[in-house]
Structure 1
Amino acid sequence: MIDVRTAHTSELEPSVLAGARRLLEVVFDGELTEHDWEHALGGIHALASEDGELIGHASVVQRRLLHGGRALRTGYVEGVGVRPDRRRRGVGGALMRPLEGVVRGAYDLGALASSDAGLPFYAARGWRPWRGRLSALTPRGIEATPDEEGCVFVLPVSVPLDLYGRLTCDWRDADVW
């Protein structure tokens, strides 16, 4: 039986956070960077366990996205991963369900950047692909991020969105999306 626990980063013991990071290093085949892990911290984590063993992680953190002349409070999903031997058994959905509730209850919209493999999963959950131009608010000003186009998804909540318009993310080190 899969058990999903949600907690803020501040409520998780260092050993639990270390276990989540090790899990994501396996899930991302050793390509999880220090910045990737940092991006997943500071918000609400969903942790899936089976027989007391951690098998999945996801988190939602607050970011600001600019769209239609407004700065939108955004629940940004990070660090979604399921142990390879437990995939295709509903764990990803069990992780996303409570985080989508957080997004719907606390933010103007949800957003995430998906791998190619994850695109059908998020689309099936009602996340919508962003069809317009993407950019980032950098220390040098607004810069286009064309390499990310096609992999950013949004979950509309309380503001009208033009999915073919421009969407600009706030600045952070390494991958901005």
Structure 2
Amino acid sequence: MKSGSSVKKCPGLHITGEASLFDGDFLSGDPMVRLNNGVFSRIGAKTGSWIKITSRTNGRSVYRIARGCGRSITYLPMDTVMIDMTACYELGVTGLVGPDGCREKTGRTILNKHTQEANEAYVADWDIRCATPLEQIEAVWRHPDRGYQVSIQIALVSLLVGVLGFVVGLAGMVISVVV
């Protein structure tokens, strides 16, 4: 990165544990990842920003919207995330399965104080960091919900066609003035 560049460097964090999202998070419909509130300052992100999660074992990546653990979720360590199972499979958690056919547990349990729901954490080997502006476009382009994905793709294609039409119209106007 060049010095004086306007793009700020976003530090990453190694994740060693993963737990499923609580039921209420699934109902929101957002592709989210729950993080310990202290992680945001360490990776330079804000709640609601896009986060890139990359597997160290196979290099696969997913994008999720960062959410804090709030006051209701307890015992969520700094190196553990709560994420949906679709993202786990996209990251290739099957590569973390032991010889007995099961994923190793970390021995940690994350608790929702309001619903008394408890989820066990499993071993993960991922890196997280905030997504760059170009990666944010990729994230919405590959949104896990097909309804959002199609509408966003149509909007971005329409924007590009509109810009192209503007440039062609401007070129036609310049040519008519010159000739």
Q: Which has the larger radius of gyration?
A: 2
TM-score normalized by structure 2? Answer: 0.27
More strand by share: 1
TM-score normalized by structure 1? Answer: 0.27
